[in-house]
Amino acid sequence: MPNTRIPNAVRLEFAPGQLVHTNLSGAAFSGDWLWVAGDESCGVDRLRRLEPTGAEALRYAEPHSFLLADLLDLPDAADVEADLEGMALADGYLWVVGSHGLKRKNVKPGRSDADNAKRLAKLALDGNRRVLARLPVEHDADGVPRLVRETEDGRCALRLKGDANDNLLTEALADDPHFSPFLSIPGKDNGFDIEGLAVAGNRLLLGLRGPVLRGWSAMLEVAVEEKGGQLRLVPLDDNGTLLRKHFLDLEGLGVRDLHFCGDDLYILAGPTMVLNGEIRVFKWPGARQTLDANREPVRFESALREAVTLPHGRGTNRAEAICALPSGLTQHPLAWLVLYDAPGEDRKDGEYTVFGDLLARD
């Protein structure tokens, strides 16, 4: 119950019919409002900060859902999940990205071995997983933020050009020697799987849960601009480079989320496969300057240090989202919010309330 929660808990109250309430995979703050995404929906939810009901540090409630189909012309049907895995707020836009990966059917209890063998061999691509989009944030007369197709000042919701099979990013990777072989492998099998997003101007950093290559995880850097009612990839430099690859020493783990804090980049990392393994936060000091100065199309980064190791359960409590709290929300001036996929019973209060964690950061 709420009054038994430890003081660093963050209470998130959802409601029947909301897009997400358990498998949280993305988070971003705007003032007293928290945006969250889940990996089994095609939209995002907005929650409002309210007074705590018990011993928890923060409480967010009054959820409101925003369907991507109401904001964008999607590559697939409106009810097909987007598997949103990354989220970032920048310059009046909420940026979101889907996993972009294939999925493999799982075995089911009670099925025959033959039936389960067929299921395990079946691959599929939900077209909305290949969404990379910016969604305008507009405030109403009471200061409440909402997502809209077009704002009064002319900002529009746009996604990267593509269809249900490919977009400009997957096309740019089609002949890549490192990643093209993994586009045909499901994400949870160490295949291609985007699970982190950070934004710096018109440049996007896309963290990959997989593939991890000989222990090196990867982050892709691209630049986008609006053209013809869509987002297009544009060169990162005068040499026409459309894609830079950054290989990161995360000690064999894959990227689960990315977040800029000032000039530093923090990386939430966990197992690329379906494993009950360690989940850690790494810090890349001075990443912003390094990335700004870099002109190499491929580089390796070992100057990372572990900031904290997070708890996990057996099949539960997998940390999937991390973001910095706005100043003034807690007694600690520097803190993270961490949200979890597959929350265990220790992170639930009924069917529609889950708990995240507050972590002190350096």
Q: Which domains can be identified in the chain, with CATH numbers? A: 2-360 (2.115.10)
316 phi-psi bin (left φ>0, alpha ψ -120 to 50, beta other): beta
pLDDT tens track for 80-93: 999 999 999 999 99
Query: How many other CB atoms sit within 10 Å of the CB of residue 271?
Result: 21
Please say if the pLDDT value at position 293 is more than 80: yes
Q: Taking residues 30-46, what's their average pLDDT?
A: 91
pLDDT of residue 358 exceeding 60, the answer is yes
Please compute the mean of the pLDDT values over residues 297-318 and round it to a whole number: 85
pLDDT band at 308 (very low <50, low <70, confident <90, very high): confident
- Name the least confident of 186-200, 233-247, 253-267, 314-328: 314-328
Q: How far apart are CA 263 and CA 359, in angstroms?
A: 20
| pLDDT band per the 50, 70, 90 thresholds, residue 133 | very high
Q: What is the mean pLDDT of the chain?
A: 92
pTM exceeds 0.75 for this model: yes
What pLDDT, on a 0 to 100 scale, did the predictor assign at position 202? 94
- Considering the chain, what percentage of its residues have pLDDT values greater than 70? 97
pLDDT class for 5, splitting at 50, 70, 90? low
Higher pLDDT among residues 309 and 80, named by residue: 80
For the residues 239-247, what does the mean pLDDT come to?
Answer: 96
CA-based Rg of the chain, rounded to a whole angstrom?
A: 20
In terms of Cβ atoms closer than 10 Å to its own Cβ (0-12, 13-18, 19+), residue 225 is exposed
Q: What's the mean pLDDT in 340-358?
A: 87
Q: Is the pLDDT of residue 231 over 50?
A: yes
pLDDT exceeding 90 applies to what percent of the chain? 75
pLDDT of residue 187: 92
Residue 4 pLDDT more than 70?
A: no
**Long-range contact set of residues 161-168: C-beta below 8 Å, sequence gap at least 24:** 161/230, 161/231, 161/232, 162/75, 162/130, 163/75, 163/127, 164/75, 164/76, 164/125, 164/127, 164/128, 164/130, 165/125, 165/127, 165/130, 166/130, 167/75, 167/130, 167/132, 168/232, 168/233
Question: What average pLDDT does the segment 187-212 reach?
Answer: 96
Q: Comparing C-alpha atoms, which of 310, 360, 358, 361 is closest to residue 52? A: 358
pLDDT of residue 313: 75
Predicted pLDDT of residue 6? 67
Q: Is the pLDDT of residue 261 over 70?
A: yes
Which pLDDT value is given to residue 3?
38
pLDDT at residue 1 tops 60: no
pLDDT over 90 (residue 193): yes
- According to DSSP H, which parts of 157-286 are helical? 168-173
Nearest CA among 65, 38, 34 for reference residue 50:
34
